[in-house]
Amino acid sequence: MSEAAVAPGSRVPSRPSAHPDGCAGVRRLAQARIPTAHGELRCVAYAAAGGVEHLAFVAGEVSGAADALVRLHSECATGDLMGSLRCDCGAQLDEALRRVATEGTGAVVYLRGHEGRGIGIAAKLRAYQLQDTGLDTVDANVALGLPVDGRDYGAGAAILHDLGITGVRLLTNNPDKVAALARHGVRVADRVPLLAPTHGESLRYLRTKRSRMGHLLDGLDSPAAAGTPTGPGSSDQPATMTTASAPATAPAEERP
Ligand SMILES: Nc1nc2c(ncn2[C@@H]2O[C@H](COP(=O)(O)OP(=O)(O)OP(=O)(O)O)[C@@H](O)[C@H]2O)c(=O)[nH]1
Ligand SMILES: [Zn+2]
C-alpha cells in the first residue's frame, strides 16, 4: 500500500527502510568543544549524501559503547529553533541533551534533511495550513501527495558507527525509529521514552502520532494533559506529561 493510499483516520503502516542492507556513508568534517547549559559536549559535523550536513553532540567517551544513551533527532526549525508549540520537538531536544549530558556518555545526533518528516520546511508549512482547516498531520501530508514519513536513518546509523557506538539505548517514543535503526545494523538494547510537556496545540499532534503512527505515548490522557486548553490563543502553560496509565475513558482522538 503506498503512503498516498493511507485511508483517512487509519493507522499508517510501518515503512521499510529505503536502504535495508546497509548504511549510507558519511564523512567526518570537523569537530569542536561546545559548552551548553547542560554541560560540555563535543560537536562533530558529518557530510552525507546529497550535500546534507548532520551533527553529533557527544558526551564523554562513547567509542566501544554497547548501550550508549542516544537520541536521533529529526530537524524541526519551527520547534527546535523558534520554540513552536505545534509539536514537541524543541522540548524533546532540550531534554535529550540534558539526559545525555547528565549521564556523562552518549550522543544526540541532529539529522538535517529530516525536516517535516522528510518533506522539507516549505511543505511542512503547507501541511500546517491544511491542519488548520481540519486535517491531521498524516492526512495533510497525503493531501499534498507527499510521504507521511519519508525519513531514512542510514546516515544516523553510519554516524553511530563512526563514533564507535555498537549498541544504543534509544531516546524515542517511535517504534518505527527503533526498527529502522536495527535494519541499519545498530543494536537497540533498549528504548527510553522521551516525554515532553504537552501544550494545547501539541496535544492534538501527539494524539495523532499515537493513534495513527503507533508512537508510544502513555500519559496523554492524564488529567493534566487532557485538561490543557486547545486552539490558538489558549494558554501556553505546559501540562506535565507523565507515564501514568491512562484512564478507562480516553478522550476522542484529535479531530478539530
Ligand atoms: N510533515 C509534518 N512534519 C511534522 C509535523 N510536526 C512535526 N513534524 C516534523 O516531524 C519530525 C519529528 O518527528 P516526530 O514524528 O514528531 O517524532 P519522531 O522523531 O518520529 O519520534 P520521537 O523520537 O519520539 O520524537 C520533525 O522533522 C518535525 O519537523 C507536521 O505536522 N507535519
Ligand atoms: Zn517539530
Q: Where are the domains of the chain?
A: 18-114+151-196, 198-256
CA angle 157, 161, 164 (to 5 degrees): 145
Task: Give the strand order in the sheet containing 187-192.
Answer: 27-36, 39-47, 53-59, 106-111, 68-74, 167-171, 187-192
Q: Domain 18-114+151-196: what homologous superfamily?
A: GTP cyclohydrolase II (3.40.50.10990)
Mean pLDDT per 10-residue run, the chain (256 residues)? Answer: 59 50 77 97 97 98 97 98 96 97 98 98 98 97 98 97 98 97 96 92 92 90 50 35 31 36
| Ligand 2 midpoint to CA 93 (Å) | 10
Q: Hunting for cell 500519559 — which residue is that?
A: 219
**Residue 73 labeled ligand binder:** yes
pTM over 0.90: no
Ligand 1 pocket test: which of 117, 119, 135 has the largest number of ligand atoms within 8 Å of its C-beta?
117
Ligand 1 pocket test: which of 6, 52, 73, 76 has the largest number of ligand atoms within 8 Å of its C-beta?
76
Give CA separation, 13 vs 22, 94, 207, in Å: 22, 30, 17
pLDDT at 243: 32
Q: Is 149 a catalytic residue?
A: yes
Please state, in angstroms and rounded to a whole number, the distance separating the CA atoms of residues 161 and 116: 25
Q: Hunting for cell 547528565 — which residue is that?
A: 102
pLDDT at 8: 75
Which is catalytic among the residues 86, 126, 151, 169? 151
| Ligand 1 midpoint to CA 168 (Å) | 21
pLDDT at 5: 57
pLDDT at 24: 63
